[in-house]
Structure formats: structure tokens, C-alpha cells
Amino acid sequence: MGIKIALAGNPNCGKTTLFNDLTGSTQYVGNWPGVTVEKKEGRLKGDKDVVIQDLPGIYSLSPYTLEEVVSRNYLVEEKPDVILNIVDGTNIERNLYLTTQLLEIGLPVVMAVNMMDLVKKNGDKIDMKKLADALGVRIVEISALKGQGTQDAVKACLEAAKAGKTTELPHVFTGSVEHAIAHIEESIEDKVDPENLRWYAIKVFERDEKALEHVELSDELKEHLEGHIADCEKEMDDDSESIITNQRYNYIQDLVSGAVKKKAKKGDMSVSDKIDQVVTNRWLALPIFAGIMFLVYYISVTTLGGFLTDWTNDVLFGEWITNGVTGWLESVNAAPWLTSLVVDGIIGGVGTVLGFVPQMVLLFLLISILEDSGYMARIAFIMDRVFRRFGLSGKSFIPMLVGVGCGVPAIMAARTIENERDRRMTIILSTFMPCGAKTEIIAMIALCFFPGSKFVAPGMYFLGIAIVILGGIALKKARYFAGDPAPFVMELPAYHIPSVKGVLIHTWERAKAFMIKAGTIIFIMCAVLWLLMNFNWGLQFLDGDLERSMLRDIGTVLAWLFVPLGFGTWQGAVASVSAEIAKEQAVATLGMLAHAASDAEADMATAIRGMFGTPLVGLSFLLFNIFDAPCLVAIATAFREQGSRKWGWITFLFQMGVGYCLALCVYQLGMLFTQGVFGFWTLVAIVICLAVCYFVFRKTPDYGRLSDEPHGADA
């Protein structure tokens, strides 16, 4: 018989760090609230019978957000053996608010007070015995980051799970409220599981509709209880939900004032405050943000990363590996087709993708440092005003920050958004931020057409933000999305120096996923493309004569689609279509084509320049491939998270439309201005620009009275 421990706690309280410590896994940890959006399961290191369940970070068990509903349904219905409640010792008052709710569920609870190292460093004192006695739980002091006390916490959990019974609940509520709840308990006693009685009684008092679905109350009983609740509300001059919240906090305040001694530090500014004074300064905040992101891309793509990539592409893969492998294959008299498969297909394709890995690793490293430090949460604070302009909350900014790494977790992160309209819009928009894989395309095009340019990579990042903002403004004016913005209350975590271990693990995890992809999907795609590229329809090996290949014919069939964008060649078509499998496949495909087309003398950049012609065409190719729909996996995630096929298609078509129109306008208007070419497609480009202006600048049509209530958080 296995034992199940559920980890519950506030966002950013160190739950995932503890989860990783206990299970030996390397889930992603960041210094901002809301990193874990799905529940994750792992097994305890050293005892496989113990299952650890990591729940999303939550402040409360209210019915209003998806993560809260996911967590409470799990706790109430699936009944883990014990709840391990992680409490941030540096922020104990708000953390205990959730604790009071967890206790009511009726499962054994163990409390782990985390970040004890920081508490001690701050000179604060927490009287654990007092807390434990008042709350009726066992308390363990831990530091998840340093791995201190975590085994004791597990031991306490196992003991609590074995004992099975829970102690008396703390007396949180005052006379008349307690009276009303007791009355409800009596009335619903035979309708719910005995251990959940207290939980449901309070939910009935709060008129929590989601919980009421599980309690079948007759209309008569409902009316009777309603009378009691209403009396209580009248007495307290507040609604029942607020009465409960108020009393919880009053109880905690009393408890904490007796048990926690904070070292007074009036007038003394912490390091966090000092950093904040600069980076969220009224005048400096936005320039600093722009400067930091510019630097991140400048270092990782242009200077240091570019230098490393040049070396891996030209020397490591271009000379050493290619020449070495070719020489070896020739020395063993390998068939020409085999040499071609290995050199043009695998090294040309997968090798090119791996060649750009140094740039990605650097980008991931720098972004991880920013995330870990707590700066990302400040960006949401700084940018909220901009986002509210088009009715999105700063919360939508977090998925977009995550999107710089990968679009899939970005789409998942949209789950933290309460309001359905906002969530749908965030899913549509967040993958416009160039992800790691797209960075490869940026790096390749920059290398081929704009060598040494400082502005291409950061430019694409800021263009991504611009598209998100303009797209948001336009969407917000559509009938479905119109309405008031959702509330935005977000915790701003204290800065801390990123832990070397955390940053390295995080970077490595992302890079590893990327390299696994290169070894699997990209590898297979390259083999398939190589086959199509080197054989004709009669399956004869062509030995470098690409013009007769199957791939050329397939590409030619699709090429007309891309004529208005300037790269209506079979190579451009094949690269763009294959990029939908995985974005970095565009790089692999171009690498293979370059390898196969060029004689050994010319380098990759020259061969690719030959395929596209002018830098304008290269730019158009780049814009289309980074601002159209994301890769298949991300598209599938968007379909799933949108929860309906209709919304999945809307997302996909909107993204495709944006990428296509942007590339078309840039190419056509670029041709008009640089070469004076004016044709049918120039007109189309002008019409598109006017249409975009109309949708962005029009006044929101009057859709009549809109309900102020958010659409709810049901999935």
C-alpha cells in the first residue's frame, strides 16, 4: 500500500524546490508566482511506495481560478493520505490563510515552514510550539533550497498518515458565525463524507456554487439555511464569503502577533528595496527593461553566441566532423548514397540545428538568471499599464515571458488567468514571442544576410511585443473579447541572488529538451527530407541533382503560396512547411539544402543567400516563420487549452494570418520603396496595412450591455 503526500502551499513558497529535492526530479522553478500550473506526481527518492503530488501554488481554495479548483477538487475528492503544507516563513501571515482552509478538508496536515535560513538571517523568531498547539498540526522547519529538514518533513508526513486521524480544528470563527456553521453541519451531516463535513459546511455558508454541486440540498433546507446565513450577514454587515475571509485573517493576526517576533527594521532599506528603487523607477524602468532585453539578445545571439555558433557551424560541423566523416566513409568504400545521407542529411540537417545550440544555451542561461532573480515579476508590474490598455492583465505578461523559452509552457501558464476571455486571448497571443527554436531561425538569417547587425535579434523580440500589443488591441475590440479587464493583484517576490545550481539546472533542462528533439523529431524529419531530396519519383538516387528530386516537385506545388512573400521557390516552401513540425527544422532544412546544393568550397551562408537572393527576401522569410502559427506541439497544446475545436482553429488561423500578412507587407512595400516595383500584391499589402490600422484604431463598437462577471474558470 503506497502513501500519497500532497504538497500544498502559496505560489512561490518553494513547493517545487521541495518536490525536486524529495523526488530527485528537476521540475522548473522560477522566482515568480504561478510557475506550477499543473499537478505533478513523483516518487520519493529512496522509497518508491511514497508518491509525492505537487499541486499548483494557490493563495486560497476559492472557486474562482482554475488552479484553485484543480487543487481543492484533488484534495477533497481524491483524498491523499496526508497534506504537506509548505509555508514561507518570511511571509507567514498570508501563508497561514491557506493553512486554515487546508485544515478544514479533514485530512491529516503537516506544516513545513520553509526558508528558515532566511528567517534566521533576518533575525526573526517564530515560536513553532505556539503555532503547532494553536493549529493542531505538527510543524517541521525546513530549507528546501539547501535540502535541510526535508527528510524530517517526510518522516512527519508518514507518521501523520499512519496515525490517520486529525486533531481538533483551531477556533477560527467567532460566536454567531460558528453557530451558523455548526447548524449547517448538522443539516448536511448525512449528505457528505464525515471527514469533509467542516469543509462543506463552510462552503455552504459561503454560498460556493462549485462546492454546492456536490451537496444535494432540498429547496426547503436551502431556504432554511439561507435564513441563518442572511441573519449572520445582517449582524456582521458583510456578505458571508467576506465574513469568513475576514475572520480567518483576524484569527491569524492574533496568532502571529503572539508567536512571531519580527526584528524591527523601520527606515532601514533592504537590498531588495534598493534594487527596486532603480529598476522600477518612474523614469528609468522602461529604458532599463529595454536595455536588459537588448543585452540579453545582443550577447546571446550577436556577440558571444554568434562567435560560438560561427565556430560550431563552420569549424566543428563544417570542417572537422564533415571532413572526418566523409574521409572515413570514403576509406571504407561506403556507397555514395550512404555518404550523402550521413553528410548532407544528418550532418547538414541535425548538425546545423545543433550548431546554433550555443546561442540558445546562452539565451536560456541569461533568461534563467532574470527569472530566478525576481526581475520578471517586476516586468509584469512595469508593463501592466500597457497591457491594460487592451484589456489584458499583467498576468497575461507572464505567459509571454515564459514564451521566450518555449511556447508550450507559455500556453499552459495561461491557466492562471481567471477570466476566460483573457485566457483565450493570451493563448492566441503568447506564442508570438520568439521562442528558443525561433531564435535559431533568427540567428541563421542574421548570420546569412545581416552579419554583425546588433539589431536583428533584439528587434525581433521587441517586434514580438509590438505584435502582441497590436493584436491584443485589435482582438479586444471584437465582440467576444470586449469587456472589463480582470482584476490584477500580484505578489512581488523579494529579489534574491539566483542560485548557480538552480540556473544551471534550468538551462540544462531546456537545452536538453532541445537536443533530444534534435536527436528524434529533427533527425527523422531530416532523414525523410533527405530521401525526398535525393531520389526521384522512380526512387533512383540522384547524387546531388536536386532539380529532379521529389522534394523539388512537392515544393514547387506549394511554392505559389509564398510568391507574394518573395520566397516562392521550392526551397523556401519546403523550409517553411517543414518548420511547422518544429521551428528549428527550418534551419535544418536550409542547412541540408545548402549542403546538397553547394560545392564544397562555398560556405553555408553563401549557399543560403543564393537561395533567397536579397536580404529583403531573407527578412520576409524570417518574419513569416517566426510570427506565423507555432510548431505542431504548441498548436496541439493551444487546441487543448482552448478547450474547443472552434477556438483552436481561430487561434491557428489568426496566427497564420498575422505571419503571412506581416511578411507580405514587408516584402511588397520593401520592393516598392527599394526598387519601385508596384503590382497587384503591392495593392494587397496597402489594403492589409489599412485594414490593420482600422482594426487597431477603430472605436470599440457598442455591443450593448456586457455582463461584468467574468466568464468563469470552468475548463
Partner 1 sequence: MKTLRDVPVGETSTVVKIHGVGATKRRIMDMGLTKGTEIYVRKVAPLGDPVEITVRGYELSIRKADADILEMT
Residues in touch with partner 1 (CB under 8 A):
59-60, 62, 64, 91-94, 97, 238-239, 241-242, 245-246, 249-250, 262, 276, 280-286, 380-382, 384-386, 388, 394, 418, 485-494, 709-710
* Min separation Cβ 232 and partner 1, Å: 16
And the C-alpha cell for 280?
A: 522600477
Pick 245 or 499: Cβ nearer partner 1? 245
* Min separation Cβ 57 and partner 1, Å: 13
Pick 63 or 149: Cβ nearer partner 1? 63
What secondary structure, in 3-state letters, does 513-562 show? HHHHHHHHHHHHHHHHHHHHHHECCCCCECCCCHHHCHHHHHHHHHHHHH
Pick 198 or 378: Cβ nearer partner 1? 378
The C-alpha atoms of residue 329 and residue 327 are separated, in whole angstroms, by 6
Q: Starting at the edge strand that comes first in sequence, how are the strands of the sheet with 40-44 ordered? A: 40-44, 47-54, 3-9, 82-88, 109-114, 138-141
Nearby residues of 342 by Cβ (< 8 Å), 6 or more positions away: 325, 329
Task: Decide if 75 contacts 85 (C-beta within 8 A).
Answer: no
* Min separation Cβ 385 and partner 1, Å: 4
Calculate the alpha carbon distances from 445 to 28, 45, 192, 619 in Å. Answer: 31, 46, 63, 7
Q: Return the H-helix or E-strand segment holding 238.
A: none
Pick 407 or 485: Cβ nearer partner 1? 485
Q: Which residues pair with 114 in a beta bridge?
A: 88
Pick 246 or 326: Cβ nearer partner 1? 246
Pick 483 or 572: Cβ nearer partner 1? 483
* Min separation Cβ 249 and partner 1, Å: 5
* Min separation Cβ 97 and partner 1, Å: 7
Pick 102 or 575: Cβ nearer partner 1? 102
Residue with cell 520568439: 434
* Min separation Cβ 644 and partner 1, Å: 22
Task: Decide if 588 contacts 606 (C-beta within 8 A).
Answer: no
Residue with cell 525546513: 142
Q: Which amino acid is residue 56, in one-letter code? A: P
Pick 57 or 564: Cβ nearer partner 1? 57
* Min separation Cβ 23 and partner 1, Å: 28
SS3 259: helix
* Min separation Cβ 127 and partner 1, Å: 17
Annotate 374-421 with DSSP letters as a single string.
Answer: THHHHHHHHHHHHHHHTT--GGGHHHHHHTTT-HHHHHHHGGG---HH
Task: Decide if 471 contacts 426 (C-beta within 8 A).
Answer: no
* Min separation Cβ 64 and partner 1, Å: 4
Pick 22 or 468: Cβ nearer partner 1? 468
